[in-house]
């Protein structure tokens, strides 16, 4: 079986963009690959981080992923900072990564714009740490949303640069996208993202979700109740496509095009279907938060397992680079 590796930042609660764009796929794929999922707390440090809330955010992310269906036995879910090799391999990769490659990364350019007062070296180096995450476990398949594809391409190049200089060591990984690799936010203008405040959270209060949905953007042509619309131009319809069963979806398509269904009714159906999908996740989430010890122990055990694997790779890399302990010379 091939190795699958992916990561997620503990920067806030999981949202439906994460779920339908990535996490739901991780749940399916864990049966086909040796799966590693990493809560990337070191990555999260490049933007302002509150040390007081960090432990809880890490825990919540792990619980959220288990609640979505990540299998406690099949998948090795772990916390990045608990495994020392990630930072070690990042330094090594820094020495083979051209600066220009990092400077042209879209995410770096966007975040540098967004956080002008905190353009730290880590923000630029972010994709190198990501490459180290993946290649420490010799990951070959990396399921992510569309925004991460550029970083996975760079990971492949870093592997190539390293292999060329020091001999074949790392596989060339590939990104694996879902059919919906980019879920738009409630504003309908930008990708749904924790940092943009345009999300529907998986475990968010139901009333809060409805409040957000009821004012969310629809097809601008539907100004009055009787104005027909074009479903393909409506963000709410794009959410329907994620969860609404086929026959109901066809009815909504027809209803929107002929003005037989108003936007509020369309949103009510979406809300009903969304809750049906999210209810089991929410229940599992609450059940797991009541058993923090079990989750903590599992994360510690998984970090131990990853540390062994990481050590193996680092040793191989060091040997290839001539970094042998003096007693071996
Ligand atoms: P966020 O942008 O909300 O901070 P992360 O960067 O932690 O989310 O992303 C975690 C995973 O979810 C990544 O694989 C990312 O590509 C995916 N993802 C995030 N937002 C979306 C979205 N709106 N549509 C599709 N996939 C997404
Ligand atoms: N950069 C990714 C994101 O923001 C998170 C991440 C870190 C990741 N390391 C990874 C994703 C390794 C895939 C593989 O979503």
Say how far apart CA 144 and CA 141 lie, in whole Å: 10
Q: Considering every ligand atom, which ligand is closest to the CA of 9?
A: 1
Average model confidence (pLDDT) across the chain: 95
Gap between the Cα atoms of 303 and 297, Å rounded = 10
pLDDT > 90: what percent of the chain? 93
Q: What is the pLDDT of residue 69?
A: 98
pLDDT band at 200 (very low <50, low <70, confident <90, very high): very high
317 CA from centroid of ligand 1 (Å): 31
State the pLDDT at residue 329. 66
Ligand 1 binding pocket (C-beta < 6 A) is 8-9, 11, 17-18, 21-22, 144-145, 147-148, 181-183, 191-195
How do residues 111-122 score in pLDDT, each as one tens digit?
999 999 999 999
Alpha carbon nearest to ligand 1 atom 14, residue: 144
* Residue entry with tokens 């809880």: 56
Domain ranges of the chain: 3-183+291-321, 203-286
Active site residue 194: yes
Identify the active-site residue in 191, 268, 311, 320: 191
- Ligand 2: residue of 151, 174, 178, 306 to mutate (most ligand atoms within 8 A of CB) is 151
Give the pair of three-digit tokens for residue 218.
């629809």
pLDDT tens-digit series, residues 252-294: 999 999 999 999 999 999 999 999 999 999 999 999 999 899 9
Atom of ligand 2 at shortest range from CA of 139: 14
Q: What percent of the chain is modeled with pLDDT above 70?
A: 100
- Taking 90 as the threshold, does the pLDDT of residue 76 lie above it? yes
CA dihedral angle for residue 196, residue 202, residue 203, residue 205, rounded to 10 degrees: 70
pLDDT at 49 over 90: no
Q: Specify the pLDDT at position 12.
A: 87
Instruction: State the fold for domain 3-183+291-321.
Output: Rossmann fold (3.40.50)
pLDDT for residue 195 is more than 90: no
Is 1.20.1630.10 the CATH classification of the domain at 203-286? no
Asked whether residue 91 carries a pLDDT value surpassing 90, the answer given is: yes
pTM of the model: 0.95
The one catalytic residue in 52, 109, 111, 164 is 111
Look up residue 226 and give its two tokens. 């009787």
């Amino acid at each position: 079986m091939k190795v699958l590796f992916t990561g997620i930042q503990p920067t806030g609660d999981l949202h439906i963009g994460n779920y339908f764009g990535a996490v739901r796929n991780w749940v399916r794929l864990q049966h086909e690959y040796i799966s590693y999922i990493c809560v990337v707390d070191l990555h999260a440090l490049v933007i302002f981080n509150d040390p007081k809330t960090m432990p809880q955010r890490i825990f919540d992310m792990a619980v959220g992923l288990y609640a979505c269906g990540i299998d406690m036995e099949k998948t090795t879910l772990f916390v990045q900072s608990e495994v020392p090799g990630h930072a070690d391999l990042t330094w090594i990769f820094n020495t083979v990564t051209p600066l220009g490659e990092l400077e042209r990364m879209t995410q770096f350019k966007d975040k540098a714009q967004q956080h002008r007062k905190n353009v730290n070296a880590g923000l630029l180096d972010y994709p190198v740490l990501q490459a180290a995450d993946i290649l420490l476990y010799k990951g070959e398949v990396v399921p992510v949303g569309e925004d991460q594809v550029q970083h996975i391409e760079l990971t492949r190049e870093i592997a190539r640069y390293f292999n060329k200089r020091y001999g074949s060591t790392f596989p060339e990984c590939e990104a694996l996208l879902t059919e919906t690799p980019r879920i738009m936010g409630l504003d309908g203008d930008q990708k749904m993202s924790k940092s943009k405040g345009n999300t529907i959270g998986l475990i968010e209060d139901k009333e809060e979700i409805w409040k957000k949905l009821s004012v969310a953007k629809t097809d601008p042509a539907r100004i009055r109740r009787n104005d027909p619309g074009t479903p393909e131009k409506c963000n709410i319809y794009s959410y329907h496509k994620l969860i609404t069963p086929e026959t109901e979806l066809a009815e909504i398509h027809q209803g929107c095009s002929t003005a037989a269904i108003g936007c509020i009714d369309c949103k009510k159906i979406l809300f009903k279907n969304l809750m049906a999908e999210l209810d089991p996740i929410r229940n599992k989430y609450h059940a797991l938060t009541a058993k923090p010890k079990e989750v903590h122990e599992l994360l510690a055990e998984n970090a131990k397992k990853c540390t062994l694997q990481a050590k193996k790779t680092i040793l191989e890399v060091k040997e290839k680079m001539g970094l042998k302990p003096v007693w071996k010379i």
